Amino acid sequence: MTAPPELRDTTVLAINPMQPDSSLIEQAAAILRHGGLVAFPTETVYGLGADATDENAVDRIFVAKGRPSTDPIIVHIAALNQLEQVALDIPQLAYQLAERFWAGALTMILKRAPTIPPNVSATLPTVAVRMPSHPVAHALIAAAGTPVAAPSANTFSRPSATTTQHVLDDLSGRINMILDGGSTPIGVESTVLDLTGQVPVVLRPGGVSLEALREIIPDLQLKSKYLGTDTLAVSPGQLIKHYSPRAEMCLYADEHAGNAMIAAAYERLAHGQRVGVLLLNSETTLWQSLNVILEALGDTLEEAAARLFAALRSLDSQGVDVIFAHGYERDGLGAAIWDRLVRAAEGRVIV
Ligand code: TXA
Ligand code: MG
């Protein structure tokens, strides 16, 4: 393997997200083939890509993100025939799920093939695989001619990046290139489904809903500290810090917690704190008379998912001391949103 391109600055190439220019894609693909790092838009969040078959390139991802080597990375493919290149003993169910949900926001955990070096999977015998639908991601992986290992393109434990500016804020000067295809449409990461155990288990709710998965897997299990009633029994110290804003999060479980939140916000303001609030458009009038920074997430769960990480980052950059937020419905994308909110709050939920 030749030496990776020298890392001086991060090149940003603006690219049409619907019809990506093939000469721009080729520039990015060449960097991947030489062991470099390229951030690119997917339909969920921006990914930070490296050649998944190149152990040294994958190591560079961990370094750039400050990610512990114990946290495994998803391998992205452009065509179904690449699945056999990265995974072994693929069950029939995986093909059924691929037929229904690929290309798209579903990641499947399978047995790892020897072409994928152990550091991709933090030495686990398994590999997480996803075929993204975003035209830029698809074109890049196809042009690279290799599966692409890509975690979310953020510094470890920060909210995932949904715009090029977010990627630059975290990784400028640490990666070779960003393909700027604008905002990522879904805004939360893929659903991670483990197919290597006795029963299929969702490890992370995401862009494909649990309800949709249950149509194919009626006995689907969910392994989440965050979605059951046991959420509140978990001590924050046991939780991984993830998706965290720098500010303290005050997360209310009840979607009708508006009045309690306003009372608590008054108290913070009286103590001279800067207060940020995450809410739906319909809730903004309640808060208008308070001297708080409002981040309206839109009218629907789809809009809220798309704006969530940008809103957390925006409040952080405005230097708020505390962020107030509450839960929404837990159906559909609501499960993924609630999971991200609880993680941002490091497991502390107010009932
Ligand atoms: O939507 C997404 O999934 C984005 C885009 C870029 O594809 N990627 C993403 O990657 O969110 P990352 O690294 O931020 O999250 C990957 C998740 C982690 O929770 C990781 O622990 C889990 O997938 N994972 C990866 N490989 C695994 C494996 N072999 N076994 C269990 N979990 C795995
Ligand atoms: Mg991530």
- The pLDDT value recorded for residue 237 is 35
Q: What is the pLDDT of residue 331?
A: 93
Q: Count how many residues are written for the chain.
A: 351
pLDDT at site 25:
98
Name the DSSP letter for residue 247: S
The ligand placed nearest to the CA atom of residue 103 is: 1
Provide the pLDDT for residue 242: 61
Q: Locate 97 and state its tokens.
A: 């799920």
170 CA distance to ligand 2 middle (Å): 13
pLDDT digits 0-9 by tens, 120-153: 999 999 999 999 999 999 999 999 999 999 999 9
Strands 106-112 and 74-76: unpaired
**Cα separation of 249 and 325, whole Å?**
8
Averaged pLDDT score across all residues of the chain: 93
What's the pLDDT at 53?
98
Sequence-distant (≥ 6) Cβ neighbours of residue 33 within 8 angstroms: 51, 144, 145, 146
Please name the residue whose Cα sits nearest to atom 32 of ligand 1.
72
pLDDT recorded at residue 227: 58
Q: Which of 171, 189, 240, 339 has the most ligand 1 atoms within 8 A of CB, as the residue to mutate?
A: 189
Phi-psi region of 12 (alpha: psi -120 to 50; beta: other; left: phi over 0): beta
Give yes or no for residue 141 CB within 6 A of ligand 1. no
Using the CB atoms, write b or e for 33-52: b if 16+ within 10 Å: bbbbbbbbbbbbbbbbbbbb
70: helix, coil or strand? Answer: coil
Instruction: Give the three-state DSSP class for 110.
Output: strand
CA 47-48-52 angle, 5° bins: 105
Q: Helix, strand, or coil here: 256?
A: coil
Sign of dihedral through CA atoms 142, 146, 149, 154?
A: negative
Helix and strand totals (H; E) in the chain: 11, 17
User: Which ligand 1 atom is the nearest neighbour of the CA of 188?
Assistant: 1
Ligand 1 atom at shortest distance from the alpha carbon of 122: 29
Specify the amino acid at residue 67.
R
Sign of CA dihedral 111, 162, 223, 238: positive
Q: What is the mean pLDDT of each run of 10 residues along the chain (351 residues)?
A: 68 98 98 98 98 98 96 98 98 98 98 98 97 98 98 95 98 98 98 96 96 97 66 38 80 92 96 96 92 97 97 96 94 95 91 88
**Are the beta carbons of 276 and 323 closer than 8 angstroms?**
yes
β-pair type (248-252, 275-279): unpaired
Tokens 């059924």, residue located? 96
Question: Which amino acid, 174?
Answer: R
Q: Name the pTM for this structure.
A: 0.94
**Nearest ligand to the C-alpha of residue 155?**
2
Q: Determine if ligand 1 sits within 6 Å of the CB of residue 203.
A: yes
